[in-house]
Structure 1
Amino acid sequence: MGKLLYSAAMSLDGFIAGPGGDMGWLAPYTGGSEGEDLAAEVGALLVGRRTFSGDDPYRGTDGEGKAFGGGWDGPQVVLTRQSFPAVPGVTFCSSLAEGVAAARAAAGEKTVNVLGASVGRACADAGLLDEVAVVVMPVLLGGGVRLFERPGLPVRLELLAQEGTSLRYRVLR
């Protein structure tokens, strides 16, 4: 079974989305190689509803509407209590346990990439998260959605790798 990895691009002041979930701030920083290595290890995505149906940092480009701007294609599991029309390659689940199980089954031995602040925090709170990867972008947003939006139990981390402003941590249990 593959690991559960929460990943995000983050402003230097700790925000992964701007006010109202705006992802436009990330557009000047897309297209780099930061996501390519990560995309190669991902077998499935586990995302929240806001991430799934929210703003797209690749808006107006060939990568619009595609994971990693088109650098990855595969199964997605969306955690939501809302109903959505069927989407090819997307499974909708109403509980964290159901969503994690579905994403792990879809990913096989590969990594489940967790996207979205609420889902990342829920996985951490449930003790399910194995790793956290963050790319710190050279911008101060001043507000928006934080990497971990609300305080919870402390989550101890051990640095696994650092390349420039890309940081990868193991979650210690």
Structure 2
Amino acid sequence: MRIRTHIAVSVDGFIASREGLPTILTAPDFESGVSHGHPEFIAGCGAVVMGRNTFAPAVGSSHWPWPNLRVFVLTGGPLPEGTPADVVSASDPAELHRLMREADFAGDVHLVGGQQTIQAFRDIDALDELGVVVMPVLLGDGLRLTMDKSGTTPLQLTGSRTFPDGSVEHRYTVVRDRD
């Protein structure tokens, strides 16, 4: 099991605008779950992990975004009413990581969400692959991919590809042993 991201970022490093609009939505041809390499990425995943802010809007919506995937939520509070019974949550990233390792699913874990959840898994050295789709836009302000003073994480480029709209996907593995 590897924990992997597949997140859109502007050329100037923002994952969302100042108003909270995800950067991927700047693409005129964006189709949720269909475009920008998502089908190929998610095909290798058996689970998703996210923070409460990413999870909560899906509860009670007409479309469950993670069919056939195990769902894990990093949160210190209770899950919203209507949360499916098989959703697993924990307030501690290390505990949630342990629960993911013990769960019954095949494949990797898609880390969905923003900088806080990404940072939480970086802090416990559990992020394995950082996949970013660099969108051809400068947002100028907004939510950065990384938190201020988040520290250095060495990465090794493992693949890149371009999409018709000019966006570029880069996949990096986290370099854990530099010796």
| TM-score bin (small chain) | 0.7 to 0.9
Moved more, 81-90 or 2-11: 81-90
**Alignment partner of 1:120: what SS?**
helix
Question: Following TM superposition, by how much is the alpha carbon of 1:125 offset from its aligned partner in structure 2, in angstroms?
Answer: 2.1
Moved more, 19-28 or 108-117: 19-28
Question: Following TM superposition, by how much is the alpha carbon of 1:115 offset from its aligned partner in structure 2, in angstroms?
Answer: 1.9
Question: Following TM superposition, by how much is the alpha carbon of 1:109 offset from its aligned partner in structure 2, in angstroms?
Answer: 4.2
Moved more, 150-159 or 104-113: 104-113
Partner of 1:77: 72
Runs of 4+ aligned residues of structure 1 deviating over 6 Å after TM superposition are: none
Partner of 1:106: 103
Moved more, 73-82 or 25-34: 25-34
Partner of 2:154: 156
Question: Following TM superposition, by how much is the alpha carbon of 1:36 offset from its aligned partner in structure 2, in angstroms?
Answer: 0.7
User: What is the letter of the counterpart of residue 78 of structure 1?
Assistant: V
User: What is the letter of the counterpart of residue 87 of structure 1?
Assistant: T
**Alignment partner of 1:21: what SS?**
coil
Tell me whether 1:52 sits opposite 2:55 in the alignment: yes
Over 3 Å counting, the alpha-carbon distance change for 1:46 and 1:83 in structure 2 is same
Over 3 Å counting, the alpha-carbon distance change for 1:17 and 1:53 in structure 2 is farther
Partner of 1:42: 45
* Aligned counterpart in structure 2 of residue 132 of structure 1, from 113, 130, 133: 130
* Aligned counterpart in structure 1 of residue 143 of structure 2, from 131, 142, 145: 145
Moved more, 95-104 or 22-31: 22-31
* Aligned counterpart in structure 1 of residue 93 of structure 2, from 80, 85, 96: 96
State how far apart, in whole Å, the 2-side matches of 1:107 and 1:130 are. Answer: 20
CA contact (8 A) 2:55 2:73 kept: yes
Question: Following TM superposition, by how much is the alpha carbon of 1:65 offset from its aligned partner in structure 2, in angstroms?
Answer: 5.2
* Aligned counterpart in structure 2 of residue 119 of structure 1, from 97, 100, 117: 117
Question: Following TM superposition, by how much is the alpha carbon of 1:122 offset from its aligned partner in structure 2, in angstroms?
Answer: 1.6
State how far apart, in whole Å, the 1-side matches of 2:135 and 2:74 are. Answer: 27
RMSD over aligned CA atoms reads: 2.5
State how far apart, in whole Å, the 2-side matches of 1:78 and 1:17 are. Answer: 21
Number of equivalenced pairs: 162
Structure 1 unpaired stretches of 5+: none
**Alignment partner of 1:19: what SS?**
coil
- Higher CA-based Rg: 2
**Alignment partner of 1:155: what SS?**
coil
Q: What is the TM-score with the length of structure 2 in the denominator?
A: 0.79
Over 3 Å counting, the alpha-carbon distance change for 1:148 and 1:54 in structure 2 is farther
Partner of 1:7: 6
Structure 2 unpaired stretches of 5+: 163-167
More helix by share: 1
